[in-house]
Amino acid sequence: MPELTIPLEKLAFLILKAYEADAEVEPVNPEDASDQVDDAERQVLEDRKENGSYQELRDALFSLNSDELDEVGALRLVGRGDYDAAEWNDALAAMREAPEGRSPSRLLADPLLGTYLEDALDEIGLSIEGPESEHL
C-alpha cells in the first residue's frame, strides 16, 4: 500500500467538492420553469457564483504542492483504470514525467474526478473513514 504525502482529510475534501461541482447544473429561468415552487428547490444545484463548490475545488487544487498534485494525478489514473494498485509507482512516475496531466486545470476539467479519486483509494487500500469522512 502506497504512503501518500497528501493528508486523507484533503483528499476527502477534494472528493466532496468534486462531487458537488459535478452535480451543478445551468440555472433555470424562473419564467421557463414547469413548476416554479418545485423548481425553486433546484437552486441549490444551480451553477451560481454564490454556490461556490467549483471555486472551493479550484482553490483547493491550486493550493496543493507539487508532490500532492502528483499524487492526485496518479490517483486519478488509478481510479479510471489506467493503472492498478500494483502499478502505483508507475502512475506516480507518469505524473512526474508529464506534469500537465496533474495540473489543477486538467483535474478541474474532469467531471468524474471525485469518482476516480474515491475508486483509487479503494483500489490502493486506503480509506477516508474516521475524521476525514466528516467531509463526505
The pTM of the whole model exceeds 0.95: no
CA dihedral defined by 9, 13, 18, 20, rounded to 10 degrees? Answer: 140
Gap between the Cα atoms of 114 and 27, Å rounded: 22
Task: Give the number of domains in the chain.
Answer: 1
**Would you say residue 103 lies in a domain?**
yes
Range of the domain at 61: 8-23+54-135
**Would you say residue 46 lies in a domain?**
no
Mean pLDDT of 17-37: 66
Query: What pLDDT is recorded for position 132?
Result: 47
Cell of 94: 507518469
Q: How confident is the model over 45-94, as pLDDT tens digits?
A: 444 455 688 899 999 999 999 999 999 999 999 999 999 999 999 999 99
**Would you say residue 3 lies in a domain?**
no
**Would you say residue 38 lies in a domain?**
no
Gap between the Cα atoms of 12 and 30, Å rounded: 35
Q: How confident is the model over 85-95, as pLDDT tens digits?
A: 999 999 999 99
**Would you say residue 13 lies in a domain?**
yes
**Would you say residue 93 lies in a domain?**
yes
